[in-house]
Amino acid sequence: MTAQTRHAVSVPAGGPWESWFPSGHPGLGSLAEHVRSTGTGHWWADDPRAPRAGAVGCAGHVLLGGDPRAVRPEDLAPLARSWFAAPDRFLPLLGAAFDRIVPWERMVWVRDGDGGRTPAPPPGTRIRRLTAADADAVRSLGPDSTWITESWGGPHALAASGHCHGAFLDGGLLSLACTYFLGSRYEDIAVVTVPEARGRGLARACVHALCADVTARGRTASWTCSRDNHPSRALAAATGFRLVRQYVHYAAGRAATCGTGRSTAP
């Protein structure tokens, strides 16, 4: 596979790409559309002119499509330490490409209706849409929250995207909800709250505000979380989401050496 590792590059439209990564699906199904529309992410192909296998990646998540026989294990080395979602036919290839592959059960939720009554924010708290001027506030959430900015290319891009609502108290950002992957039909959202502000209903208020925007844009909000992330599952249920699908993706380790790999975690 020839790595087309470029920043701000669109996933090629049409041809096999649309069959490998079809539009209009919730959860990770919106990743390829997000890369296409925002320019944040990368694409790879065994032959960019006539691809038999391809990949699209963003924020550490990688989707694989096509024929795995067109790909050598070493071709996936640049994608080490990523999370892979792929048809089962790719599992032997992943096992040969990396020193470990850990299966991880995931859940996809879709929001029904308006999610019920919008909760009032705690006294003194303001829920509002972020702007580019809020980039420093996003950075102030700290290193444990950096992940939520990666699908947009960093704090400034996320704040300026128009797809993010935050909870502010005394000028400080305590919680935010944002579109993580922007699709044509679905917007897969993500939420983060600083530890000392959890349990106050801030995340719920941010989700309601964001989902109102998603609906106004003519799309449906989706939610993806780990099966064992019970706080995330509870928040999804409390804000009007219903479970529609479960799947497994795979956390890859380091690139395998000497042509050896392992298909599952020990």
pLDDT in tens, 79-116: 999 999 999 999 999 999 999 999 999 999 999 877 66
82 and 125 belong to one structural domain: no
Cα separation, 9 vs 49, whole angstroms: 16
In the block, tokens 């972020």 appear at 130
Report yes or no: 163 and 34 within 8 Å, Cβ to Cβ: no
The separation between CA 79 and the C-alpha centre of its own chain, rounded to angstroms, equals: 16
138 and 95 belong to one structural domain: no
> Is residue 216, in this structure, part of any structural domain at all?
yes
Which amino acid, one-letter code, is at 83? W
* pLDDT (0 to 100) of residue 140: 96
> Is residue 256, in this structure, part of any structural domain at all?
no
* pLDDT (0 to 100) of residue 263: 43
Write out the residue range of the structural domain in which residue 163 sits.
Answer: 109-247
130 and 234 belong to one structural domain: yes
Mean pLDDT of 129-155: 97
Cα separation, 222 vs 28, whole angstroms: 10
Q: Indicate the DSSP class of residue 120.
A: P
148 and 198 belong to one structural domain: yes
* Whether the predicted model's global pTM rises above the 0.85 cut: yes
Q: Domain tally for the chain?
A: 2
Please give the mean pLDDT across all residues of the chain.
Answer: 91
